[in-house]
Chain A
Amino acid sequence: MKTHKLFDNGSHTWLMFGRDEEKPEQIIDTNQYIVITKNNALLMDPGGIELFSAMLSAVIKQVPANKITHLFASHQDPDIISSLGLWDQALPSATLHSPWLWESFIRHFGMHNIHYAAIPDEGNSLKLDSVTLDFIPAHYLHSSGNFNVYDSKAKILMSGDIGAALETVEAPLFVEDFDDHIDKMKMFHQRWMPSNKAKNDWVQRVRKLDIDMMCPQHGRIFKGDNVKRFLDWFEALEVGLINKGSN
């Protein structure tokens, strides 16, 4: 598991964990993110059960366990949060922020100690020391209850499955040539995302945000102008398709 620093301004740090070479071949590669503030840390989309010990090992190199006070799960998928039962043993007094829609489902992963903070459909915010993180609605992209995390100071949007690309663990961290990258994203967005209306609604909402980096849960990070390129491409893309020959 590799660790990359994405942002650091003295008051807080963003790190990305991913490109895990030891992960079993059949499971999708995932990016995990953490925001570390003075006394707290928020771990986002902590990943699948298969990844837990690699993740905890990587995280514990950066912060002590008792500083990880908050977890976030953008939605209910196993690659997002099936490790919950083990985090529940490791961080018994943490709070999990996740869509209200999925509470009774996510609890199936095993949650006896961690507190579930249900995010309402319209989203809300979390204050970590001096840093405010916004949970931005991204419903039906692809999950019917789904949020992004936005940090207006770092200008980072953690976009979950939006912007995801299916790639190998050797893939670079950042999108280099946007047009080249389209091939790796197209099928994922068309096949997993069901609603053009929800998609366009999200594009409108996100266009209003000041974003330097858009960080998906799979694949590469979009930086600078590539963020706008992604929004334009995504807006024009027709989703909710089963299209065998295309991709």
Chain B
Amino acid sequence: MSEASTNYFVCVAEIAAKLDQATHIAQQLSLTASNARAVALRAGERAAGFRPLTDFIDRLAEITISSSKKINLLASRLSQTSADKVRADDAIEHFHAVYIKAKNSPYISSLDSQLMRCESVQEDLNRKYRRQIDQLSDELAMLSNELRNAVILATLSRVEASQAGSEYQEALINVADNVEGAAGKIKEHIKYSQQMVSILEEY
């Protein structure tokens, strides 16, 4: 029991840490978007097709940042629920020990109502825990889905870059690489978090 409970705290903390890293990458991504916008402006007409792409890059960064925030909040709520769950499980375990040790006490039934109360709290917490896991898992899936657009964005960026003329081409291809790289790293963090969630689902 205690080993499992340590595990769930560690898993939840790891999810929060991974999403923190994702937030940092997304912040860099939004910097990339504003650099790209400047380059595209300088490139003028030839990079006209690139400008709307920078808006998409921005949007992707924004979605990642806000979704990471949400996931962090869900993770911290889940951690609180886990702590409450450990406390409730612990109290019930202690009560059961008392029922054995003091089984001949004339007053032993005076504990019944408290045990029942703790057991109903425990059930509520178990339901809450499941619900929060589901929310976390949905949010991770949503973000992962959004990040699929990054591959398309990178491809389109490369196409547009090739038309921007040799002077700007390199800078714009660099933007495309950045987008692809950032999305890849964020996806890895999400994948790891999803593995943690599947461990949590087993408790």
- Which positions in A face B, CB cutoff 8 Å? 52-54, 56-58, 60-67, 85-86, 89-92, 110
Contacts and interface: CB of A to CB of B under 8 A. Distances in A.
- Lowest 9 CB-CB distances: which A-B pairs, in order? A64-B110, A57-B101, A89-B91, A64-B107, A57-B102, A53-B97, A61-B105, A65-B110, A53-B94
Given A60-B102, A89-B95, 8 more contacts: A53-B97, A57-B97, A57-B98, A57-B101, A61-B104, A61-B105, A65-B111, A89-B88
Contacts of B90: 86
B42 interface: no
Q: Is the interface of B mostly helix, strand, loop or mixed?
A: helix
A85 B108 contact: no
Nearest to B97: A53
Interface of B: 87-88, 90-91, 94-95, 97-98, 101-102, 104-108, 110-111, 114, 117-118
A169 B94 CA distance: 23
B91 A92 contact: no
Contact of A54 (B101, B110, B118): B101
Contacts of A110: 87
29 contacts: A52-B94, A56-B94, A56-B98, A56-B102, A57-B102, A57-B105, A58-B102, A60-B102, A60-B107, A60-B108, A60-B111, A61-B102, A61-B105, A61-B107, A62-B107, A63-B107, A64-B110, A65-B107, A65-B111, A65-B114, A67-B110, A85-B87, A86-B90, A89-B91, A89-B95, A89-B118, A90-B95, A92-B117, A110-B87
A57 B97 CA distance: 8
Looking at B88, B90, B107, the one whose CB has the most chain A CB atoms below 10 A away is: B107
A66 B113 CA distance: 10
Nearest to B110: A64
A134 to B, nearest CB: 28
Contacts of A58: 102
Given A53-B101, A60-B102, A86 B94 contact: yes
A90 B117 contact: no
A67 B106 CA distance: 13
A90 B94 CA distance: 10
A90 B111 contact: yes
Nearest to B121: A89
Contact of A60 (B88, B91, B98, B118): B98
